[in-house]
Structure 1
Amino acid sequence: MDEPLELPHFDIDATVVKRLGEELISDEVSAIMELVKNAYDADADWVKITISTEGQVPEGMVYAGTAGYITLEDNGSGMTYQDILTKWLVISLSSKRDMKARNETTPKGRVPLGDKGVGRLSTQRLGRQLELISGVADREEWNHLAFDWADFESHVPLTKVRLQQRITPKKAKQKGTQLVITRLANQDIWKKEAADRFRGQLSQLIFPYKQHRPFSVYLTINGQKHDLDEISEDLQTQAIGRYQFRFVGGQLLVDGQISLGKLRGQSSKEEFEKFVLLDQGQDFFSFLTDSTANRRYFLTGIKPQKKSFFSFHRQLSFDKDFPGKSLASDAAGELVVANPGEFFGEIDEYDLRGTESTEEVFTGLKQYQSLVKNQVGIRVFRDGFGIKPYGFDGQDWLNLGGGQTSGGSFYGLRPNNVIGFVSISMAGNAQLKELTSREGFTDSPYSRNFMLVMQRVVKEVSEVLERTRRSYLDYKKTVAERVTGFKSIAEPVALLKQTSQQATAVDARSRQAERKFNDLSLTVKKQVDRLQNEPLFAAAGETASLPLLREVEGMVSEGAKLFAEINVILDKAKKWEESATYVSTQVANLESQLVQFTELAGLGLTAEALTHDIYFLLDRINTYTDNFNKQLGRASVPASVYEFMEYVRSFSRDLRKQLTHLAPSLRFNREKRETLSMNEFVETVRDYYTARFSTAGIKLIIETRKDFTVVANKGKLTQIFDNLFLNAEYWLRERQKSEPNFSPEIKVEINEPVVRVSDNGYGVAENLEDTLFQPFITAKPAEVGRGLGLFIVQQLLESMGGDIFLLQTRNALHRRYIFQLNLDAAIQS
């Protein structure tokens, strides 16, 4: 009789589990955070993280004596042997997921953060060997489990992986869990600067405001205790703007406080004192809220504040004031607005130059700047734990930098000057689900609406700041008009000329008066000296007049000095007429440039509209061509017709290619920023120009010494290189006309953080070296160029935080010819 067959069942190769852990956890910080969250879910009050790269695992452990270890110890509820057997050792089985489904909480009222059942796999990112020691209250044993992740690589069934288990005694009141990780995967990350970087990254994932931290995290690396960065009250007092928001009951509430320091902007200290500090901003506040005097930019809903400058309040309805909301299906299958759940947060804005009290609060400006830079960014926390990548390492998920790259003002919120948080919870925001990799939220109607609300927060704050900025500019102009009576630039120019003419007229008389005072001073001094040195020869009344003569001597001497100073001022005043003429000429040039810019803006809008229309026309041409081609298939037609049809298709493809190159530079695509390899980007641009340059035999050479990645708008970068390449092409073709054997070349050198662009043309004319980047400066004929190319390049680079300049290096013709683009600010962190 045959033996009974074993019942069929699934099993799994152990390597799959190891591979799963490697793919789910991106780095050591994420791995540590997964284990810290497990301690939180176990109702721990604290967790201690100890990292030692040289210490040995103590006696009593399975891997005792092993050099280098990481331990995580907490005082949570712990696990029984049965818990370890039926829960911890079962991959992807999560009792926490069941708790969430039943809306249950832990004894301390916490909603578990984990629900994937794979957090324990993160330990393999840290080290090869793992020991688990856990126990519960009212039991007198520690449950001890140990295994080596290397055993998962032996291609055996998961159930055959060898585990070591033992039980050791403990006191009944003791509880908690300890993980001991050995055979560390990367010891270098826990040493020197790398250890400081890890501490900083871990700090970013723990709620920075101590009063809101759910429990304590203690970190020790190689015997040195590390405090995780906190946002102290001292630091918050230095904020020049504090913006708090709350999304609750279908309403968005935004409350902000702006200090006087926010008005300083880029103005000088003297100007700031004159217009703001003199009366603590009272006069400007009146102007700011005056709908008549400040008709274009006046603010409502703001109140003056003694300790700051003013506060504002905004309240918006989620149903009525948020167009573009995403919908989701409810339990009945009907589409409803996807409410992301209630949350709150705060954004604090800092001036890295400090405030008047910075030196009093901190040991120095550098300490203050270091504290700000270590915590910069707006981060999202769920129950006190950060969610990557939002605000992590300065990641600008709210696109605050967009204000800088699209003409935003100095007064707007900027990613490098704000510290903030958004606090969500598992209980209140369960629909905001995180990716399995823990790198952000899954894309859903709820996460999209969460982003919509946060973008509105930024918009409301930015609008107040922008209107305040514009009002301040108008206020300074109004004060100047009030004090001087000037209504236009022509009036002070005329006054300068008039004063200069008056100074010229009185100059001769003033100098004559100075000479007379000097002569009189000399005469009086001689008389005083005679009376003092020869009193016996003085007349009867002369000695009595000596005190009066001394007083007269002092007055005359002071008068002589005064006239000398007046004459110095008159010398300068006589030149005011020339200065006034220069100023009026410059103003006239600016007004002329403004007219030309207006013409260009109109031309740009026309080009943009035309481009959209051409796209539609091309689609229609392709559709008609395809339909016509199908009809031709049923008839006998000459070959020339098919040739013509292929020509139409080819022409359409080429034209679309040209438009595709142009499209990123148009306004509707200029806000999108991408991560770009500089070498790959320049290669792409070269591909576009290959056919064009080949007609002139121009070689475009790319030399990459050290490539780098930038986060930038592709359209802006395209415009920058377009202007540089087209400018080079023009002058290379010009040289080619007079030198038939000339071999034109354009060279691009990439070497982080700069890109250098040069050509072997004539180079830059010496008379243009200092004015090259000003608008409407060009050596080309008027019908060829307007002189805007390099000016546009400079403006685009400045909007990205970069710059461009002409290197001092000269070519064989003794002309400067190398442009250097500094892209340091755009480099991806």
Structure 2
Amino acid sequence: MESHISIDSRIISHLGEMLISDEKVALLELVKNSSDADALKCEIVIDTIAENEYGKGLMIVEDNGNGMNRHIIESGFLRIATSFKQQNQKYSYIFNRLALGSKGVGRLALNRLGYFIIVETKLNLEILNKLDDTLILNNFGVTEKQKIIEENENYYYRFVLNWSDFEVDSLTLDSIPIVIQKIQDEKIKFCGESHGTRITIMGLKGNNYWEKKETKVELEKDVLAFMNPFQDKKANFSVKIDLNKEIFKSDLYDKTRIENIASSKTKFKFNLLSKFVEFEITRSLQYIEGLVSNMRKRMEDLGFELKDTINFEELYKKHCNVKPFRISILEQDINKRYSKVNLKSLYQDDKGEYFLPGDFEGAIYAFSRSSTEIKKLLESISGVNLYRNNFRVMLGEQKDWLGLGHIERTYYRNIYSPNNVVGYVYIDGEENLEKLAELTNREGLKQDEYGKNFLTLMRDFIAIIMTYEDDKFREIFELPSSMRLNKLKSNEIISFDDGLIKFQKIEDSFGKFKETIDEKTDLSEKKIANLIPYIEGEKGIEVLNLVTTDIKKEITEIKSHIQSLENDQHKKYNQIELERENLEQFYPLIGATIVAETLAHEITRLSNGIKFSSLQLRKLLFNNEEVWRKAERNLSLIDSNTKFLNRYAAMLDINSYSKRRRYEVIDLKEYLLSTFEDSPLLSYKNINVNLEIKGEGFKQKVVKEGLKIIFENLIINSVYWLSKMQINNPTINIQFRNNNKIQLWDNGFGIHNDISDKLFEPFVSNKPLNEGRGMGLYIVKEMLKEVSGDIQLLNETNSHDNRYKFEIIFRGELQ
């Protein structure tokens, strides 16, 4: 006897929850279906206050698309995971749109959204003129056009889905009847047209979601986010959402205006046949002028003046429009020019052929936040988004999916910061519909060989080349080291950009002034002396003496003023030195505050852990008395977290750092071993860092609390970046050498080349805003001075071609 697999009717609810992640994704699924149906408009009304017999909340999704006849309803809409659209409606028949809702799960979005569904739909008979007999048969179930017209011209179809019918025990999915009504009404309208679909959802399951304040903000952004704001003005699909009388629309952005106000723009296009990526880079006049202006100000602050008028016309000609270039992704020597490009991880088949996506293209615009218009633009559509046929492909929470933040922190300082870019990548075309498939829940691309290779090409090829080119451009306007500038003599000239920009060292104005006064004084005295032989008589000599006395008096007063200026200058210098010495008294407190700031975050995290464990424990004890084994585990977690909290509290005792400093002779290695044994500083977020202290220790006269602050700041800095860069087996090494040197390094990426020469200056940091102030290493260097110590970054580089090893030298009393 034969048997068959049957599906319980409740599978609808389960699939809806699993495949449609939230209400916003469900709504997007319905909008995509409207686009697939050749709609010009999709209008959505959400009313969270309305009440009906199915619960609270009402939603209406209406479009003026092609609508459906009975055959499409039965073979397409009511059949889950059908290939009907993929086989018969891969491209829409009027506007030739590539189908986006092709997975046959759109109706599950309805289950996610509400309890009771009413569908009303009327066929657009114009599409009959677009189809041959075979397509008419496949789409409408019959071949006679006249019969289709007679059945649909003055009629529309209506059916309901009561999801509670599917929750009944022991019913199979195909045993629940759906009644499709054929209703005569030639005047029915859908978004003002005589054809389309209207879906009414009663009793919203996520009514609370739509009422949240955050949802309004998200919805306003995401209406723009899932519709492509860069599409051409002739694009013919718009979305309007009315949420409790607040209107949100899918407005288009003026792409020409975006291009005009962008500081820098990179366009790229990948061709599968040639395996080349073409690049086109454009920079604005304002971008160049801004870099020149900043450079000029900094040079003037350092005692230089612009030598000649800058030929901006030549600068624009040279840098605004970079000659388009193209690079093969298979080029063997690409690393000679772009050392950070890494395509070794591209997946290949057994024959060595790469799993490459179809053609794709994009443009990325970078901005300096110099105007209200730009700030507003970045607030609305910041980030680079992925689009397929003018609909966004969601990439989950990966806003910076190109890794621009990682590039900025570790490789190249450039204008393409993740918070200052707007852009798009188009993966249109039938080939990419197959190769770059989306996850069923619409939350990103499938991470198969094609999906991973596409992301690798974008992150490790296109993004690297784009940011490298900008970094090399910005280097033109970077100042040389202060050591080199200080060596230049008065009136000596330094050139930039092949001589297009020149600066001249200004003479010491005070010294020149004093020298001039001395010369004039000597000259006046000589002139007076030369007059004496020519004056006869006592009266003449008397007049001459009076004039000479007055002149000498004036000269004496001038010299007195000069001396006063010199004295004032010396006093000011002494005051500055005194202030610096006074400021040094606060370095330990500032250093301790940096440590305290880091620990505060950890205390919050541990406190939350304690609260959660405590809550779990209470639940277990309340529901079942025989849970002591599980309860004991939570108690252990509470004890462990409490222990760490106590240690943190001890480290946060600022008074211990600010007490009067006392010098002691200690064994530095023994002190560091005891200080950092099981130190909470070696744990950050979800990682634990290994600390290895090696070498033969030595004794040194130091301030113990100061030494503690010095190494705590160094370790905090290392742990931060090891965590940020997600380094495997993160390790910090401390090596004692030569009886007066200690070296410290970690196995991370090392120090960014842009700041390696100015690392110990105040306010220099590669950390994102609000995560670092650039004071830690400056304070370390200043605090080492009080024990005749110093710190430097050695020239030795790691596998990432970055300097990475610090060396502390003690030149004071050795024991």
Q: Residue type matched to 1:803 in 2? A: G
| Partner of residue 141, structure 1 | 155
Residues 490 and 507 of structure 2 are in contact (CA less than 8 Å); yes or no, is this contact kept in structure 1?
Answer: no
Quote the offset at 1:485 in angstroms.
1.0
Quote the offset at 1:783 in angstroms.
4.3
Q: Residue type matched to 1:95 in 2? A: F
| Partner of residue 283, structure 2 | 258
| Partner of residue 422, structure 1 | 425
Moved more, 248-257 or 25-34: 248-257
- The alignment status of 1:485 with 2:492, answered yes or no, reads yes
Structure 1 pair 378/459, CA: closer, same or farther in 2 (3 Å)?
same
Stretches of structure 2 that go unaligned for 5 or more consecutive residues are: 125-148, 188-192, 335-342, 496-504, 524-550, 578-603, 611-639, 647-663, 689-701, 718-733, 747-758, 777-815
| Partner of residue 39, structure 2 | 44
Distance (Å, rounded) in 2 between the aligned partners of 1:69 and 1:35: 15
Distance (Å, rounded) in 2 between the aligned partners of 1:43 and 1:277: 62
Alignment of 1:20-35 (within 5 A): 20-35=15-30
Q: Secondary structure at the match of 1:799?
A: coil
| Partner of residue 216, structure 2 | 195
Quote the offset at 1:206 in angstroms.
1.0
Residues 29 and 202 of structure 1 are in contact (CA less than 8 Å); yes or no, is this contact kept in structure 2?
Answer: no
Distance (Å, rounded) in 2 between the aligned partners of 1:681 and 1:376: 32
- The alignment status of 1:279 with 2:304, answered yes or no, reads no
Give the one of 803, 816, 822 matched to 2:772.
803
- The alignment's TM-score, normalised by the length of structure 1, stands at 0.56
Structure 1 pair 563/120, CA: closer, same or farther in 2 (3 Å)?
farther
Residues 394 and 415 of structure 1 are in contact (CA less than 8 Å); yes or no, is this contact kept in structure 2?
Answer: no
Distance (Å, rounded) in 2 between the aligned partners of 1:131 and 1:733: 82
Q: Residue type matched to 1:182 in 2? A: M
Q: Residue type matched to 1:70 in 2? A: M
Structure 1 pair 574/196, CA: closer, same or farther in 2 (3 Å)?
closer
Residues 126 and 186 of structure 1 are in contact (CA less than 8 Å); yes or no, is this contact kept in structure 2?
Answer: yes
Residues 384 and 423 of structure 2 are in contact (CA less than 8 Å); yes or no, is this contact kept in structure 1?
Answer: yes
Distance (Å, rounded) in 1 between the aligned partners of 2:440 and 2:559: 82
User: Alpha-carbon deviations, 1:37-83, whole Å to 9, x = none?
Assistant: 111111111211211111357xxxxx69x642111111111111232
Q: Secondary structure at the match of 1:201?
A: helix
Alignment of 1:240-389 (within 5 A): 240-248=263-271, 249-250=273-274, 251-263=276-288, 264=290, 268=294, 271=297, 279=310, 281-282=312-313, 304=318, 309-318=320-329, 320=331, 324=344, 326=346, 336-352=353-369, 354=370, 358=371, 365=372, 368-389=374-395
Q: Secondary structure at the match of 1:121?
A: helix
- The alignment status of 1:174 with 2:194, answered yes or no, reads yes
Residues 700 and 747 of structure 1 are in contact (CA less than 8 Å); yes or no, is this contact kept in structure 2?
Answer: no
Q: Residue type matched to 1:114 in 2? A: G
- The alignment status of 1:405 with 2:394, answered yes or no, reads no
Distance (Å, rounded) in 1 between the aligned partners of 2:559 and 2:477: 41
| Partner of residue 157, structure 1 | 172
Quote the offset at 1:420 in angstroms.
0.4
| Partner of residue 499, structure 2 | none
Structure 1 pair 125/276, CA: closer, same or farther in 2 (3 Å)?
farther
Residues 511 and 567 of structure 1 are in contact (CA less than 8 Å); yes or no, is this contact kept in structure 2?
Answer: no
- The alignment status of 1:76 with 2:65, answered yes or no, reads yes
User: Alpha-carbon deviations, 1:582-606, whole Å to 9, x = none?
Assistant: 9xxxxxxxxxxxxxxxxxxxxxxxx
Q: Residue type matched to 2:249 in 1? A: D
Distance (Å, rounded) in 2 between the aligned partners of 1:153 and 1:426: 40
Distance (Å, rounded) in 1 between the aligned partners of 2:88 and 2:352: 27
Residues 244 and 345 of structure 1 are in contact (CA less than 8 Å); yes or no, is this contact kept in structure 2?
Answer: yes
Alpha carbon RMSD of aligned pairs, Å?
A: 5.7
Residues 58 and 204 of structure 2 are in contact (CA less than 8 Å); yes or no, is this contact kept in structure 1?
Answer: yes
Residues 678 and 750 of structure 1 are in contact (CA less than 8 Å); yes or no, is this contact kept in structure 2?
Answer: no
Residues 703 and 749 of structure 1 are in contact (CA less than 8 Å); yes or no, is this contact kept in structure 2?
Answer: no
| Partner of residue 438, structure 1 | 442
Q: Residue type matched to 1:120 in 2? A: R
| Partner of residue 238, structure 1 | 261
Residues 700 and 746 of structure 1 are in contact (CA less than 8 Å); yes or no, is this contact kept in structure 2?
Answer: no
Structure 1 pair 737/319, CA: closer, same or farther in 2 (3 Å)?
closer
Distance (Å, rounded) in 1 between the aligned partners of 2:307 and 2:183: 71
Quote the offset at 1:736 in angstroms.
14
| Partner of residue 117, structure 1 | 104
Residues 260 and 276 of structure 1 are in contact (CA less than 8 Å); yes or no, is this contact kept in structure 2?
Answer: no
Residues 400 and 414 of structure 1 are in contact (CA less than 8 Å); yes or no, is this contact kept in structure 2?
Answer: yes
Moved more, 67-76 or 103-112: 103-112
Q: Residue type matched to 1:176 in 2? A: G
Q: Secondary structure at the match of 2:404?
A: coil
| Partner of residue 582, structure 2 | none
Structure 1 pair 381/187, CA: closer, same or farther in 2 (3 Å)?
same
User: Alpha-carbon deviations, 1:777-805, whole Å to 9, x = none?
Assistant: x9x99947648689899999843552277
Distance (Å, rounded) in 1 between the aligned partners of 2:49 and 2:308: 58
Stretches of structure 1 that go unaligned for 5 or more consecutive residues are: 58-62, 286-302, 359-364, 489-494, 514-555, 583-676, 684-697, 705-730, 756-760, 807-829
Structure 1 pair 131/315, CA: closer, same or farther in 2 (3 Å)?
same
Distance (Å, rounded) in 1 between the aligned partners of 2:710 and 2:520: 44
- The alignment status of 1:469 with 2:437, answered yes or no, reads no
Distance (Å, rounded) in 2 between the aligned partners of 1:223 and 1:166: 32
Distance (Å, rounded) in 2 between the aligned partners of 1:443 and 1:768: 45
Residues 500 and 577 of structure 1 are in contact (CA less than 8 Å); yes or no, is this contact kept in structure 2?
Answer: no
Structure 1 pair 270/41, CA: closer, same or farther in 2 (3 Å)?
same
| Partner of residue 728, structure 1 | none
User: Alpha-carbon deviations, 1:155-203, whole Å to 9, x = none?
Assistant: 3221233645434333277211111112112223323342122221232
Residues 244 and 347 of structure 1 are in contact (CA less than 8 Å); yes or no, is this contact kept in structure 2?
Answer: yes
Distance (Å, rounded) in 2 between the aligned partners of 1:22 and 1:235: 39
Structure 1 pair 401/511, CA: closer, same or farther in 2 (3 Å)?
farther
Quote the offset at 1:218 in angstroms.
1.2
Q: Residue type matched to 1:485 in 2? A: E
| Partner of residue 690, structure 1 | none
Distance (Å, rounded) in 2 between the aligned partners of 1:134 and 1:699: 61
- The alignment status of 1:217 with 2:239, answered yes or no, reads yes
Distance (Å, rounded) in 1 between the aligned partners of 2:560 and 2:41: 74
| Partner of residue 87, structure 1 | 76
Residues 737 and 743 of structure 2 are in contact (CA less than 8 Å); yes or no, is this contact kept in structure 1?
Answer: no
Quote the offset at 1:774 in angstroms.
13
Residues 345 and 423 of structure 1 are in contact (CA less than 8 Å); yes or no, is this contact kept in structure 2?
Answer: yes
Residues 76 and 85 of structure 2 are in contact (CA less than 8 Å); yes or no, is this contact kept in structure 1?
Answer: no
Distance (Å, rounded) in 1 between the aligned partners of 2:114 and 2:103: 21
Distance (Å, rounded) in 1 between the aligned partners of 2:364 and 2:328: 21
Quote the offset at 1:223 in angstroms.
1.2
Residues 701 and 746 of structure 1 are in contact (CA less than 8 Å); yes or no, is this contact kept in structure 2?
Answer: no
Distance (Å, rounded) in 2 between the aligned partners of 1:147 and 1:85: 13
Q: Residue type matched to 2:98 in 1? A: V
Distance (Å, rounded) in 1 between the aligned partners of 2:452 and 2:56: 48
User: Alpha-carbon deviations, 1:193-240, whole Å to 9, x = none?
Assistant: 421222212321110124264511112111121233543344442210
Residues 735 and 742 of structure 1 are in contact (CA less than 8 Å); yes or no, is this contact kept in structure 2?
Answer: no
Residues 151 and 162 of structure 1 are in contact (CA less than 8 Å); yes or no, is this contact kept in structure 2?
Answer: no
